[in-house]
Chains A and B, each alone.
Chain A
Amino acid sequence: QKEVEQNSGPLSVPEGAIASLNCTYSDRGSQSFFWYRQYSGKSPELIMSIYSNGDKEDGRFTAQLNKASQYVSLLIRDSQPSDSATYLCAVNIGYSTLTFGKGTMLLVSP
């Protein structure tokens, strides 16, 4: 069974700090990886996608992928209280189907 593992948290960081969220996956053949943000009571919102080894930056967000280690991470620079949410790591397992980790709750304190 293809699995995605995340630390459930909560991960607490002060405002302005870097938040680092991590994810491992079991299927070595996986090729595309996504980070979704989910606020309480809301639906998941796609914030980053990454397909190649290395880093991909978009504003304050950086996704990092290491296929050899089967590891994906999300860095949030200059964290804001509005970043407080659950972050879901997802892996494409074929066609238009994703398998998700259970998410890491991030709390950013003012």
Chain B
Amino acid sequence: KAGVTQTPRYLIKTRGQQVTLSCSPISGHRSVSWYQQTPGQGLQFLFEYFSETQRNKGNFPGRFSGRQFSNSRSEMNVSTLELGDSALYLCASSFGQGGIIEKLFFGSGTQLSVL
């Protein structure tokens, strides 16, 4: 069974540009979550999608957005990039049914560098 697939693996952008990251969940998983990981702040939750609807959102500015398609694949977009957006962006998938036994599985991540 294939795991969570994220593309691209690495990205280099300059300030002011925008970027789109992609995530394909494990087959059968309908929830996709996005996290930002930096050395100083650790893993921080961005947003979570289930059946094409955003169910939960973290404390990030509106420059960060996402969407989910009918096949559960998800994209996240960051507009007007800032130097501080340099981070590892991780996607996680789960069945999304809620309940205490819900387990999240992470993709390999996209390492974004903003110059």
Instruction: Tell me the A residues contacting B by CB distance below 8 Å.
Output: 31-32, 34, 36, 42-46, 49, 51, 88, 92, 94-103
Instruction: Tell me the B residues contacting A by CB distance below 8 Å.
Output: 31, 33, 35, 41-45, 48, 50, 55-56, 88, 90, 92, 94, 96, 98, 100-109
Complex alpha-carbon distance, A88 and B41, angstroms:
13
Chain A residues whose CB sits within 8 angstroms of the CB of B88 once the complex forms: 43
Given A43-B90, A88-B43, A102-B42, A96 contacting B100 (CB threshold 8 A): no
Most B-side CB within 10 Å, residue of A92, A97, A98: A97
Complex alpha-carbon distance, A49 and B103, angstroms:
8
Q: Could you say which of A34, A36, A96 contacts B98, with CB atoms under 8 Å apart?
A: A96
Q: Is the interface of B mostly helix, strand, loop or mixed?
A: strand
Going nearest first, the 6 A-B pairs with the smallest beta carbon separation are: A102-B42, A100-B43, A96-B31, A32-B100, A43-B106, A31-B100
Complex alpha-carbon distance, A101 and B31, angstroms:
22
Complex alpha-carbon distance, A97 and B94, angstroms:
10
Q: B98: nearest residue on chain A (CB-CB)?
A: A95
Judging by beta carbons under 8 Å apart, are B100 and A43 in contact? no
Complex alpha-carbon distance, A102 and B98, angstroms:
24
